[in-house]
Each structure stands twice: as structure tokens, then as C-alpha cells.
Amino acid sequence: MGLIINALKHPILISYLSGANNYSFVHFRTGEQLLVSKSLSFLEKQLPDFIRIHKTLLLNPDCILKLQNQGSSKTGGAVLLEDGTVLTVSRRQWPLLLNTIGVGIDQHLLEPERSIAFVTNDVTKSLLLRQLINAQWPMTLLHVTDNGSLLSQLLVMTGVNRPELLLFDLRQATPNRIALIQELKETPRLRRLPIVLLIAPNTGLTRSGYALKANSIVVIPEDNSEFLSIMEEVCRYWLTMASLPTGQYR
């Protein structure tokens, strides 16, 4: 039972579930799979925001990239997921899926008031942070990238919601990200951007991080629940209490 509770603790990390009799596979967005000794019907009750698209499939609607209509009243359709997976949707469940996705599209048409960027290659932590931002600060857009050059391009592009706060994950790719931070702090029109460094415990990066003129350095744990708790405090300060340099680095 412990494995099941752990798997369902953060539904945003799950892509879909597939059932076979009294067993189910939990397919995570990281590509991992977990076999649990529970039926899909049981798991459906634990995941009320997921959609039953087939008698053997339970889907996280946030993972849908595209709908594929089969063009026949006697068939349903299919969904293309963000990782390229294609899942069949039964004819009976197709209208429910269309209705649910339609609501989601309307919500995403809202223009964000601001944006922040998270530089990381940790898929799990980025999904959890996106869930937190969407729930607590829905008018804030989160850009996630593991590529420093893409962040640099984003900061100079016109016609996009450019980040006003930068979160750097220094638990990986440390030399490249430190070089990018140095570049930002040496660029006159970008040096005002607040930078928060996220480091692992006992890494000794605190002193060198502040030497780079970072605005904050936060130690984050591997445990997902503890990570969410700490990031909620970090975001609450920077998005609620602090005044971000909106429009001051153009």
C-alpha cells in the first residue's frame, strides 16, 4: 500500500495509468513505470482530475498534446501525449474528453501578468514547481529550460513574456550555469534581474553563489513534498512580498 500512496502523492508526475484485471501500471512523465496491485477503478477514485478514456486507460489531461479524431461516429479517437505516446479513446468517452479539454483551453487563453524562469534538467522538480505556480499564482507563467542559451534568447526576445525572476538549479550542470550567471551579472540591462540559486545540502556552494551576486541561495532536498514546501515559501516571498523589476531591463 505504501508504494501506491507514494505514487499518487503528486498526480502531476503521472502521465497515465493502464489497467489489467486487479493490477495497474502507473506511467510517469519521466518515463518510469510502476506496477501496483490495485484496479484501475480503485485508482480512478483516488485521481478525480484524471479522465477515463478507455476501460483500460486513465489519463492525466495535462499531458495531452493533441487530439486525433478518427472521423467516424462509430469510433472514438486518440490522444497524442507530450512524450509522443498515442492512446486510444473509446467512442463512449470521446465526448467527455472533448468537454474536459475544451475547458482547459479556455483557461490557458488568459494573458499572464508576469513570468519567471527555472533553469533545470530535473523533470520531476519542474513539474512540481509548475503545479505550485499554477495553483497559487495562476497569472504567473513559468518557463522551464535546461539550456542556458535558450534562456539568453528568451531574455532578449520581443513580443514574449520575458522572465522577471530566475531560478537556477545548481545541483547539476554547475559550471555551465555559473558561467551563465556571470554573463547575466556582467550585462548592464540584465544585471538587475533577481537570481535565486537552488543547491543540494552540504555542497559548499553558498559562499561562491553569493560571490556571483545571487540574490538568494536556497538549499533544497530531494524529497518532493519537502521541495514543494520550501519552494512555496520562496515563491511567496518573490511573487508576493518583493517588488520585481518589471520592464526595467529592456
pLDDT at res. 221: 93
Q: Is the pLDDT of residue 250 over 80?
A: no
Q: Is the pLDDT of residue 232 over 90?
A: yes
Q: In this structure, which amino acid lies at residue 46?
A: Q
Confidence of residue 124 (pLDDT cuts 50, 70, 90): very high
> Regarding predicted confidence, which is higher, 192 or 152?
192
Averaged pLDDT, 34-53: 93
29 and 64 Cβ atoms separated by less than 8 Å: no
- Cα distances from 132 to residues 92, 138, 143, 174, in angstroms, run 33, 9, 13, 25
> Regarding predicted confidence, which is higher, 223 or 138?
223
Q: How far apart are CA 51 and CA 101, in angstroms?
A: 10
pLDDT at res. 194: 93
Q: Is the pLDDT of residue 18 over 90?
A: yes
76 and 90 Cβ atoms separated by less than 8 Å: yes
pLDDT at res. 113: 78
Q: How far apart are CA 131 and CA 128, in angstroms?
A: 5
pLDDT at res. 55: 92
Q: Which residue has the cell 554547475?
A: 174
Q: How far apart are CA 152 and CA 129, in angstroms?
A: 21
Confidence of residue 162 (pLDDT cuts 50, 70, 90): confident
Tell me the percentage of the chain whose pLDDT exceeds 90.
46
Q: In this structure, which amino acid lies at residue 80?
A: L
pLDDT at res. 5: 74
